[in-house]
Structure 1
Amino acid sequence: MTPSQITLVQESFAKVAPISDQAAVLFYDRLFEVAPPVRAMFPEDLTEQRKKLMGMLAAVVSGLSNLESILPAASALAKRHVAYGAKAEHYPVVGETLLWTLEKGLGEAWTPELAAAWTDAYGVLSGYMISEAYGAS
């Protein structure tokens, strides 16, 4: 990722943070709509899960400037996800759902440049997590 992409991601996430509850609801509603089988991996009450999602996103976004600082936590998260039943093929669906959620939440502020920056950020992190959880692809 370029420094300008990191700035775009961080500035746009600052606009999402105030609506994090709504964004998390949008995210999980969409995820379960496009990938119904993954619903079984989650608790019935998603209140805590939504908070975890937004907290993890906030930590990752703030750590993009120093990627090495967030990789240990990303590795541990990836390995925990395996125990929950997550598979490598779930990562692209989650990424598409995240981008969809950001587009909905940011409205007109969602530009092709911003979409590319988020796509790159998710690609870097998910690629790392997949390799940590399932071995190099």
Structure 2
Amino acid sequence: MATVCLLTHHNILASHLLPQNDTWARIRRSPDFRREFGVSLFTRMFEFAPAVWGNFPWGRGVKEGESPMQNKEFIPFAMRFVDMFDLAIDMLGPDVDWVEEQLQHLGAKHTSYGLMPKHYTLMGRSLLDTLEEKLGHAFTARHKESWHTIYTFMSVSMMQGAFADLKDTVHQHETTINEMKRFDGRKGASVDV
């Protein structure tokens, strides 16, 4: 049986934040970093898993040979993602509990977009590859470990929120089904659910 180790805010130390802050500051120095980083990140992700395009509104209905990146909604989306990610990175620090809670809310919201655990893994791989691409030799093994730890914290927090949301949804459906059975039972009929 495999042992699962969930990363929590208790695992994030200053030793992870310092290398991450250094590399993110370098990324932010680019005049159009939101666009450049966002487009590179999602391009990388979709190279790894082209089918994921369909999870995004601007990726649906793309005809054979067309690039979803030509959709006018793609670049603003990629930039909004970088804005959100940048904000989350900025908030990491002494009050990680609050950041964890916000990420859990964000994860719950993302269940409606059809995000699955495999998508978080895919994004993590894309993030590390994009950082390495943008930073070159300045992206050391220590930086990679730091980013891996921080992204794991962020993605696990989001998945915890998503799973809690799904659990609530299942409970609501079970309650509705039981109420339907009781209601139909009073009428003398049975319900196949």
Q: Which runs of 5+ in 2 are unaligned?
A: 1-11, 59-72, 165-193
Across the two proteins, how many residue pairs are aligned to each other?
135
Match of 1:48 among 76, 88, 93: 76
Tell me the residue number matched to 2:170.
none
Q: Distance in 1 between matches of 2:27 and 2:98?
A: 23
- How far off is 1:116 after superposition? 0.1
Among 151, 162, 179, which residue is 1:133 paired with?
A: 162
Equivalent position of 2:109 in the other structure:
80
Which of 76, 88, 99 pairs up with 2:128?
99
Higher relative contact order, chain-length normalized (CA < 8 Å, sep 6+): 1
State the match for 2:23 in structure 1.
12
1:25-75, Cα deviation, whole Å (9 max, x unpaired) = 111111111111211122322122112211111111111113123223212
With normalisation by structure 2, the TM-score equals: 0.66
Query: Distance between the aligned counterparts of 1:38 and 1:80, measured in 2?
Result: 18
Q: Structure 1, residues 90-124: CA drift from partner, whole Å, max 9, x if none?
A: 11111000110111111111000000000000111
Identity level (%): 25
Q: Aligned with 2:115: secondary structure?
A: coil
Task: From the two aligned structures, give the one with the greater helix fraction.
Answer: 1
Q: Which has the larger radius of gyration?
A: 2
Q: Which runs of 4+ in 1 moved over 2 A?
A: none
Q: CA RMSD for the aligned pairs?
A: 1.3
